[in-house]
Structure 1
Amino acid sequence: MNLSIVTNTFSLLKKRPFLSGGVLFLLLLPVILHFIFWGLVASKAPDYERTVQHPYLSSEVTVVRDKHGIPHIEAGDAKSAYFVLGYVTAQDRLFQMELQRRIGRGELTELFGEKLLETDKFLKTLLLKKTAEEYANAEKKIHPEAWENLDSFLEGINAFVAEGTYPIEYTILGTTPRPFNRVDAISFLFYMGFSFAEGIKSDSLFSILESQIKDRKVGELFPRYDFEQNATILESQPGFPRLATNSGAKKTPLPETSFKQKAQASLSKPLKDVSGIYELLDVVSNLHLPIEPMEGSNSWLVAPSRSSSGGAVLANDPHIALSNPGTWYEAHIRFPGYENYGYFLAIIPFPLIAHNQDKAWGLTMLEHDDVNLYYETVSGNFVTEKGKQVPIQVYSDPISLKGGGSENFEVKITPHGPILTEHIKGYTGDRPISLYWSHHHLPNPLLDVLFQMGRAKSFQELDSASSLIAAPGLNFSYADAKGNIAYYSVGRFPILKSGNSRKILEGATGENDVIGYLPSSQNPKLINPQNGIIVTANNKVTSRPIPGLGFPEGNWQPADRFQRLVDVLGRQEKWSLEELASLQTDTVASFAPVYLEIALPALEKVKSLPAKRALSILKQWNFEHHPDSQGAVVYDVFFYLTLKNMLIDELGEKNFELYGDFAEFLNAYRAFVQNPDSLFWDDLRTEGKETREDIFVKSLEDTAVYLEQNVSKSPSLWLWKNLYRIKHPHPLGVIPVLGKIFDVGPLPSAGGTEVVNNLKYKLMKEDWTAMAGPSKRRVIDYGRFGDSVTQLPIGNSGNLGSPFYGNMVEDYILGKHRTILYSKESYSQGRFKKEFHPSK
C-alpha cells in the first residue's frame, strides 16, 4: 500500500475528534497488518546474489538466474553441482518440499492438524514410506553414484535450512523445517507413481453400481475403449498422405465386458450391502492433499522428414492438478561430462523430463491398469490365500500430531497388499478390502532410473534405463539431434489368472491373483515409423492382443485429444516449431462435430425462446473454447445436462458425482451419444419411455435455464469466460483473507476438458473452475535448437517474496511460449548471479 494513503487517512481521522483511540486503532489495524505481513514476506525473500561459502563444496559453482528466474548452474564437479541445485531449489521451493515429504510419509497432521488425520492414514496405508525405507537402505545399489548425487542435493537443501530464513508459510503455521533425508525424497517419488491409479475408484464404483442398477448393462458405464476405433497409439498414427498402415486398423470385436468370463464368475453375484465400499470410496475421493496427482498429458514427435527445420521435434505438455507453486522446477545444470536442461520435482535431484543438445524426452501417462482391489477373508491374524490360512504382516508407523504427541498406527498387509479398509472410520463392510499395486510386488528403482536417463546417449540406452520401472505406467517420447524419434511404454503389465476385471475381486481362492508380468522387453514401442509422427494422449496403447497378456486393460483417457492431434498433424507434410507450439494451446472439441451432427436435428423441436437462442449459437459455433466464445459455454452446459438427464435416474446424485471423478464417464458418453438404443436414455422416473432425442430436447431447454440462472439473463453475455475460470490454489488458500494472497486466480482462460489445451474442471460437481491442466509446455526442435520454447503456468519460485513468484501467469493464460535460454551467451547477462565457493 502507498505510504501517502496511510498518511492522508491518519490526517483525516485526526480531524474527527469524536473517534476514540480504540476506534482509530481498529480502522488502522488492516493497514498495520498489511505492512507487518509484507514486511515479513520481504525479510524472507530469497537472496539471489550473496556469495556462499561452504565446506561441502569441492569446486566453485556459478548460478545465473535468467530474466525468467531459471537457474543455470555451472560447476566443476557433480558433488558441488548437486549441492548447489539443492540449495537454489530450496530458496524457491522449500515449503513445497516440506509438503512433498509429508505427503510421502503421511505426516500432514503434524503440520495442519487433525483434519488431515484420515488423509495421513490413507497415505501410510499405501506403504510409501515403508518401500522408500527399504529402497533407500538397501545395501546393494544399481548406481551408487545416483545416491551420492542425492546426498549432495540433500546437503544443499539442508545448508539452506540451516541458514534459518524460511518462507512465510512456516511463520503462519508456527513451525520450522527439520533436515531432509533420503526417505523424504524417495517416498514422494513413489507417491507420484501411485497418483496415476484410478483403479481404486473405478473398481469400487463398478461394484456398487452392479449391485444397485437393475435392467441396465452396467458395462455400458465402464466401456474403456470397447467401442472406440482409430484411437490407439500403435495403430492410429497420422500420415501425409495418410498411410494405409496408419489409416486405423479395424477393431477386433471384443466380448461385451472385454474381460474374461472367469473373472465375472469369480464374483458373479452382485453384493447385497455396498455401504462399506461407499466408505472406502468417500475416503479416496475426499482426501485433503495439498499436492494433487497427475491428470493426463499430450506428447507428439515429428521426424526430420515432417519438420520444416529438417530436425527431429519433440512437443510435450504433462497435465497435472494446478497448484501454486506448480509441479515442475525448471533448472539448467552443467558440470564436466554432464548437461541437462530439465523439469524437476522439487525434492528430487534428477529431472523427470529434460533435454540437451543431443537428446530430449518427455512423458505422458500410460494409464494401464496395475491396481486391483480384493475382498479378503480374515480370521484373527490370518488371511485366506488360495484356500489356505497365512499370517497377516503388520507394519507400525505412528502418526505425529500437531502440538506434540502421536497416535499409534499399524498397517495390516495380506499377500495381495495392504488392507485399505482397516482404518476407515465406521467401515461397515462384511469383509476387508486390500490393495494390489505392482509397486509393492516388484523392484521399483525410480531414482536409479532417473539418474541413468539423464546420462543416456541414445534412445536404446534411455529405453534400457526406463525398462526397470515397475510403476507408474508411462509413455516416453524421445527425439535426438541425429534425427531419431521413438516411443516406448514403461511400467509392468500384470497378468491375472482370470483376466483383468473392472471391479473388486474375490481374494481367497487365488483364481483372480496376479500370476506374472509381461516382460518389459515386450512393452509396446514405435521407433522411427514410416509416417514420421508419433502422438500419445493417454489413449489406449494398442487395439491388438499382446502375446502373453492378451488385450491390455487400462483406465484410458478419452480419445478426443489423440484424435484431434492425429487429425491436425495429418493435414500437411511439414510442420514448423511455431505451428507445433500453437497446437499445444488448441481448444477445438474434437467430438463436438460428431455430437452435434446427431443432436441438432432433434433440437429443432425446442420451444422456448432462450432454448432457440442456444440452438442458434450451437449452429454457428466453430468448436473452439476461447474466453469470448458463446458456443463453448452453451455446448459444455448442454453436454453436461444431457449426461445428467440420461444417468441421474439410474445413478442417483451421489453415484453420479462419484462417476465424474474419473475419465470413464467420458468414454461411456462418447458411446452413448452414438447409440440411440441404449436403455439408459429412458428416464425411469416417468411413465413413458424417453428416447435419445427426447433427452436432447429437454437438455437444451434446461441449458437455457441454467445459463440464465448461472451466467446472465442476457444471451449476449453467455460467454465462456463468464462461467469458466482457471485457478492455481495454494495449500494455505483456505485461510480467510490470506488465501487470496496465496492463490493465483481464478482467471479467465482459453481451454476446456479433453481439448488439446486440457484445462479440465469438475463437471459432475458443477464446478467450472479448472483444477488441472498443462503443468508445462515445451517444444524442442533439433533443426532450430536455439529457438526451442517452453512455458510454466505461474513462475519458477514458490516464495512469495521472490520476483519470480507468479511472473509467468499472463503468458500461460495467453498461451505465449518463451525461448529456452540454453547457450551461455543467451543467459550470461542474467538478472541475478550467485557464486558458491569451498570454505578455506
Structure 2
Amino acid sequence: MIHSIKKYIHKRPLLSLLFLLILTLPITLHFVFWGLVSLKAPRYQGEIRSDKLTSKATVIRDEVGIPHIVGEDAKSAYFALGFTMAQDRIFQMELQRRIGKGELTEIFGEKLIPSDQFLKSLLLKQTAEIYANQTKHIYPEAWEQLDWFLEGVNHFLETEPLPIEYTILGIKPRPFDRVDAISFLFYMGFSFAEGIKSDSLYSIMESELVDRSASELFPRYDFEPNASILESQPGFKKLTSNLPIPNVNPKNDLKGSEIKSSLSRSNKDITNLKQLVTFVSSLNLPIEPLEGSNSWLVGPSRSASGGAVLANDPHIALSNPGAWYEAYIEYPGYENYGYFLSIIPFPLIAHNRDKAWGLTMLEQDDVNLYMETIEAGKYKSGSNWKDLTYYKDEIKQKDGTKIPFEVAITNHGPIITEHIKGYKGRPVSLYWAHHHLDNPLLDVLYKMGKSKSFQELDSASSMIGAPGLNFSYADKNGNIAYYAVGRFPILKSGNPRKILEGSTGENDVIGYVPSKDNPKIINPKNGIIVTANNLVTSGRLPGLGKPEGNWQPPDRFQRLVGILETQEKWSLEELAAIQNDTVSSFAPEYLEILFSSVKEPKTLGGKKVLEILKNWNFEHFPESQGAAVYDVFFYITMKELLIDEMGPEHFELYGDMAEYWNAYRRFIRNPNSNYWDDLRTVGTLETRTDILNRSIELTARYLEKNVSASPSLWKWKNLYKIKHPHPLGVLPLIGGVFNIGPLPSAGGAEVVNNLKYKLMKEDWTAMAGPSKRRVIDYGRFEESVTQLPIGNSGNLGSPFYGNLVDDYINGVHRKILYSKSQVGDGKYRLEFQPK
C-alpha cells in the first residue's frame, strides 16, 4: 500500500510537492512559532538608558526569577519596577486595563460586548478618572510614584519586543496611564458577584417554592456555633483531635431568620430576574474576583522561634500568569518584599524587617440590588421623583467602529439590567459601597508600605471604603493584630438576603458603621488569630446589629483552629505544612451520620463505596480513593436533595455560591427538613435515610461511568486536576501551549489547601486556589518561606515561565531571599542608567 502511494506521487511531481508540504507544515509552523517566541523573550541582562531616569537602579533576578530592585532614588526604583513588570506581565497588564475600563471587545471581538457593557456599568473607569484627575491627593507622592512606574512600563513598550500574544491578536498597545491602573485596582474590589447572584436566586426561589423555605437554602451562619473570628479563636492546648495533623514534610505522591422586605413581586418580575441571573452567570470575564483566603498569626508565646509569625494564602481564580507579581524593591528610606498587582507599583501584601501584613476577604455585605420604578427619565424615591443621571462612554470594536454606551444611575447606583438582551422587567440597580464612599485605594497602598507600626497600618487601611478585607499583621517587636477594613452599610429596614424594593425609600442605606468600630483583635492572650472568610462576629456592631455577609463555609476556619489548639508552640516548618493541609473537617461528622443511617448496599459498587468511606483518613491526596468517593458522594447527595426543588439551571447557579456548602451542613444535621422529600416521586415521602442510601448507589454508578469500572482506580488523581488557564488557551491548535495543566494535585474544596472546582457543573478541574503562600517568622526572619503557583513570568520566551508549578503542586515552600547576602549575584543583572 505504501509502495503504491510512493509510485503514484513519483509520477506526479506537483502532487509530490504538495504532499511534502502537508507533511512538513506542522514542523515548519512549530519552528516559526517558537522562533518568534524566542525573538520576543525578555532581556534580563545588560543596560537600560532613559532620560526619565535621575539616577542608577539595579535589578538582580534570583534563581527562580524574583527581581530584587535597588534604586539610588525613588524615581529610578519605580521606573525599574515598571519596566521589570512589563518584561514579564505586559500582556496581563493589557488585559487588566481593558477589564477595568470595559475595553475587551476591541481585541477579542463582538462576543465580549455584553462583558464590556457590564464592566462599564460598574463605573470603574468613571471613578478612576475622578481620582486620577484630582488636583489634590491625600498623598501626592503616591501619584507621582505611580507616574514614574508607568514611565518604566511605557519605556518597555517603546524599546522592547512585545510578547507573542500581541502578534497573534494583531494589536499594538498604547501607552499606559493613571486611569488604566486605577480602573483595574477598583476592579479588584469586585468581590460582589456572589451577592448579585445570591440575592437574585433567593428572590426567585422564594417565589417558586411550595412547602419549602428559601431561608434553608441561604442560611449563612444562622446555625453555626464556634465559627466567628472575634469569638472562636484557638485556645492554648487541646490534645483531643480525631483528625490527622499535617506532617512537617507532607509527602505528596506527585514529585437564620428571614428579614421581611417591602418588595412585592409579580410573576413577570420573577421571570425577568431569571434573565438577570442568567446574564450575570454567563459573563465572560478573563479575571475572576477573589475566592477566599486563609490567614493566621502566632504570637511570641506560641511560636518556637520566640518571634511573631504571619501565615497567609489568599485564594483567587487560577490563571496564567498568576494573580501576584513577586518582587523586592528598595531605595533610600524604603524597602519592601511584596506581592503586587502587575499594574500597580505598591504591594497589596508585603513584609520587611520591621513588619509583615497579609489579607483575606472580609465578605461583609456591601452590595444590594434594588428594583426601581422609572418613568420619563425620573426614578421614584419615597414620595419624590428624581432625575436619573447618566454615564456615557463608547465601546470600540476590532474594526475601529464604535458603539455608543450609556448607563442610567439612581440614588442607589447604576442600572445593570439596561443592556441585558431581552430583559423587559423592572430595572434593577446595583448599590455598591465603592460608589458612595471615598475610596482612595492607591493612597492607602502607598501609606501601608510606608507605615512603621500596626497603629499606622490600621490608620491607613481604615480609609478603604470597599472592598471589605481582613488584615493580618505581625512585626519584629512581637505584636500580632487583626483588623477588619471596609465599611458595613446600615439599611433603614435591615439587610435581607434578596432583592429590595427601591421606590419606597424604606430599604435605603442610611449610614455606615464607623471605621473605628470595625472588629479588631490586638495581641490576644491566647497568642493566635485565625481568619478564613468566616463570620466576623456573632455579636452586634454599633448601629448595625449582627453583620450580614457572603461568609465562606466555616470548614477551613474550624480546621485551622482545631490544628492550632493541639500544641502550645509552633515552628516555621510546622506552620508552612499547615498551608498544604487537605483534611475535610466536616467529613467525620457527615460520615458518622451516614454510617448510622445507611443500610447494607444492594450492589457490589455500593458496598465498595461504603467500604472506602469507612477506611478513609479524610485527606485529599492524588492517590486517595476516599477523597474521590467522598466528594462524588457529597455532590450526588446534594443533587438528590435539591434538584427537584431547584431544577438544573438554578442548581448549577447555586454551585457558584458559598451558600450551597453552608446549607448542606445544616441539611445533613436536620433530618426533619422538608427538602429531603423528593418531589419527583409522587405519593412517596422520602427521608434523609432514603436519600443517603440512594446516593450511595448513585455514587458507585457515577464513579464507574466517569472514572473507571474498577474501584481500585477510583483515585482522586483520576477525577480531580488543577489548571492555570491563559486567556488565549481557548485558541485552536496553539491554545494548549499557553495553558499550564491540567495536572494532578493534592487539595480540594473547603479544605485548607482550598483548590476549588465547579461542583454543580461536574467540572472537577480546580478553578481557584491559593494565589501564593507565605510564612514570615520574625524569630527566624531570613528563613521565612513562600510559594508562587507557576512563577513570575507570563512571557512564553522567559526561562521563568511556569518554572514553579511543580513546587506548588507538591507543596514545596522555598526560602524568601531578602538580604543582599542571600541574593548574591543572582542569575541575571540589569542596570538602569540616566541617558
Query: Does TM, scored on the shorter chain, surpass 0.5?
Result: yes
| Displacement of 1:615 | 0.4
* Match of residue 244 from structure 2: none
* Match of residue 582 from structure 2: 587
| Displacement of 1:135 | 1.0
The secondary structure found in structure 1 opposite 2:667 is helix
| Displacement of 1:601 | 2.3
Matches within 5 A, 1:551-566: 551-566=546-561
Q: Which amino acid aligns with 1:494?
A: P
The secondary structure found in structure 2 opposite 1:276 is helix
* Match of residue 41 from structure 2: 45
Matches within 5 A, 1:165-204: 165-204=161-200
* Match of residue 531 from structure 1: 526
Q: Which amino acid aligns with 2:231?
A: E
* Match of residue 28 from structure 2: 32
Does residue 1:667 correspond to 2:662, yes or no? yes
> Residues 261 and 501 of structure 2 are in contact (CA less than 8 Å); yes or no, is this contact kept in structure 1?
no
The correspondence for 1:518, drawn from 513, 522, 535, is: 513
Cα distance in structure 1, aligned partners of 2:661 and 2:131: 38
* Match of residue 111 from structure 1: 107
Seen in structure 2, the aligned counterparts of structure 1 residues 270 and 694 have a Cα distance that, compared at 3 Å, is farther
Matches within 5 A, 1:684-703: 684-686=679-681, 687-703=683-699
Cα distance in structure 2, aligned partners of 1:208 and 1:52: 59
> Residues 61 and 81 of structure 1 are in contact (CA less than 8 Å); yes or no, is this contact kept in structure 2?
yes
The correspondence for 2:205, drawn from 176, 198, 209, is: 209
Cα distance in structure 1, aligned partners of 2:7 and 2:817: 55
| TM-score normalized with structure 1 length | 0.95
| Displacement of 1:428 | 2.3
Cα distance in structure 1, aligned partners of 2:63 and 2:368: 48
| Superposed CA offset, 1:409-461 (max 9, x none) | 001000100000111111021x1000000000001000000000000000000
| Displacement of 1:207 | 0.6
Seen in structure 2, the aligned counterparts of structure 1 residues 808 and 15 have a Cα distance that, compared at 3 Å, is farther
Matches within 5 A, 1:238-387: 238-241=234-237, 256-259=256-259, 264-267=260-263, 271=267, 273-387=269-383
> Residues 396 and 411 of structure 1 are in contact (CA less than 8 Å); yes or no, is this contact kept in structure 2?
yes
Matches within 5 A, 1:495-644: 495-644=490-639
Does residue 1:704 correspond to 2:703, yes or no? no
Unaligned stretches of 5+ residues in structure 2: 240-255
> Residues 197 and 371 of structure 1 are in contact (CA less than 8 Å); yes or no, is this contact kept in structure 2?
no
> Residues 136 and 182 of structure 1 are in contact (CA less than 8 Å); yes or no, is this contact kept in structure 2?
yes
* Match of residue 653 from structure 1: 648
Seen in structure 2, the aligned counterparts of structure 1 residues 14 and 131 have a Cα distance that, compared at 3 Å, is farther
| Displacement of 1:285 | 1.0
Cα distance in structure 2, aligned partners of 1:344 and 1:462: 18
Cα distance in structure 1, aligned partners of 2:7 and 2:624: 52
Does residue 1:455 correspond to 2:450, yes or no? yes
* Match of residue 433 from structure 2: 438
Q: How many residues align?
A: 811
Does residue 1:227 correspond to 2:223, yes or no? yes
Q: Which amino acid aligns with 1:204?
A: S
Cα distance in structure 1, aligned partners of 2:800 and 2:113: 34
Cα distance in structure 1, aligned partners of 2:343 and 2:32: 31
The RMSD of aligned alpha carbons is: 1.4
> Residues 275 and 428 of structure 1 are in contact (CA less than 8 Å); yes or no, is this contact kept in structure 2?
no
> Residues 603 and 615 of structure 1 are in contact (CA less than 8 Å); yes or no, is this contact kept in structure 2?
no
| Displacement of 1:23 | 0.8
> After the TM superposition, which of the residue ranges 133-142 and 300-309 deviates more from structure 2?
133-142
The secondary structure found in structure 2 opposite 1:526 is strand
Matches within 5 A, 1:144-159: 144-159=140-155
The secondary structure found in structure 2 opposite 1:398 is strand
Q: Which amino acid aligns with 2:528?
A: I
Q: Which amino acid aligns with 2:646?
A: L
| Superposed CA offset, 1:357-382 (max 9, x none) | 00000000000000000000000110
Does residue 1:809 correspond to 2:798, yes or no? no
| Superposed CA offset, 1:476-533 (max 9, x none) | 0000000000000000000000001110000011100000000000000000000000
Q: Which amino acid aligns with 1:648?
A: I
* Match of residue 394 from structure 1: 390
Does residue 1:405 correspond to 2:384, yes or no? no
> Residues 587 and 625 of structure 1 are in contact (CA less than 8 Å); yes or no, is this contact kept in structure 2?
yes
> Residues 197 and 369 of structure 1 are in contact (CA less than 8 Å); yes or no, is this contact kept in structure 2?
no
Cα distance in structure 2, aligned partners of 1:833 and 1:67: 12
| Superposed CA offset, 1:233-264 (max 9, x none) | 00000011369xxxxxxxxxxxx4253xxxx1
The correspondence for 2:127, drawn from 112, 128, 131, is: 131
Unaligned stretches of 5+ residues in structure 1: 1-11, 244-255
Cα distance in structure 2, aligned partners of 1:270 and 1:767: 35
> Residues 211 and 270 of structure 1 are in contact (CA less than 8 Å); yes or no, is this contact kept in structure 2?
no
Q: Which amino acid aligns with 2:563?
A: V
* Match of residue 249 from structure 2: none
Seen in structure 2, the aligned counterparts of structure 1 residues 734 and 13 have a Cα distance that, compared at 3 Å, is farther
> Residues 462 and 486 of structure 2 are in contact (CA less than 8 Å); yes or no, is this contact kept in structure 1?
yes
Q: Which amino acid aligns with 1:436?
A: Y
The secondary structure found in structure 2 opposite 1:402 is coil
Seen in structure 2, the aligned counterparts of structure 1 residues 178 and 743 have a Cα distance that, compared at 3 Å, is same
* Match of residue 719 from structure 1: 715
Cα distance in structure 1, aligned partners of 2:192 and 2:279: 17
Seen in structure 2, the aligned counterparts of structure 1 residues 196 and 776 have a Cα distance that, compared at 3 Å, is farther
Cα distance in structure 1, aligned partners of 2:769 and 2:6: 49
Seen in structure 2, the aligned counterparts of structure 1 residues 549 and 828 have a Cα distance that, compared at 3 Å, is same
> Residues 142 and 443 of structure 2 are in contact (CA less than 8 Å); yes or no, is this contact kept in structure 1?
yes
Seen in structure 2, the aligned counterparts of structure 1 residues 309 and 275 have a Cα distance that, compared at 3 Å, is same
* Match of residue 250 from structure 2: none
Does residue 1:472 correspond to 2:467, yes or no? yes
Seen in structure 2, the aligned counterparts of structure 1 residues 592 and 128 have a Cα distance that, compared at 3 Å, is same
* Match of residue 99 from structure 1: 95
* Match of residue 794 from structure 1: 790
Cα distance in structure 1, aligned partners of 2:688 and 2:268: 32
| Superposed CA offset, 1:520-553 (max 9, x none) | 0000000000000000000000001112110000
| Superposed CA offset, 1:646-693 (max 9, x none) | 000000011100111111110000000000000000001112100001
Cα distance in structure 2, aligned partners of 1:653 and 1:738: 34
Matches within 5 A, 1:423-434: 423-429=419-425, 431-434=426-429
Seen in structure 2, the aligned counterparts of structure 1 residues 15 and 145 have a Cα distance that, compared at 3 Å, is farther
* Match of residue 248 from structure 1: none
| Displacement of 1:611 | 0.5
> Residues 66 and 831 of structure 1 are in contact (CA less than 8 Å); yes or no, is this contact kept in structure 2?
yes
Cα distance in structure 2, aligned partners of 1:477 and 1:194: 21
> Residues 475 and 488 of structure 1 are in contact (CA less than 8 Å); yes or no, is this contact kept in structure 2?
yes
Seen in structure 2, the aligned counterparts of structure 1 residues 15 and 153 have a Cα distance that, compared at 3 Å, is farther
| Superposed CA offset, 1:589-636 (max 9, x none) | 000001001011222332111110110000000000000000000000
* Match of residue 242 from structure 2: none
| Displacement of 1:277 | 1.1
The secondary structure found in structure 1 opposite 2:418 is helix
Q: Which amino acid aligns with 1:649?
A: D
Cα distance in structure 2, aligned partners of 1:737 and 1:225: 47
> Residues 789 and 820 of structure 1 are in contact (CA less than 8 Å); yes or no, is this contact kept in structure 2?
yes
Cα distance in structure 2, aligned partners of 1:31 and 1:272: 58
Q: Which amino acid aligns with 2:406?
A: E
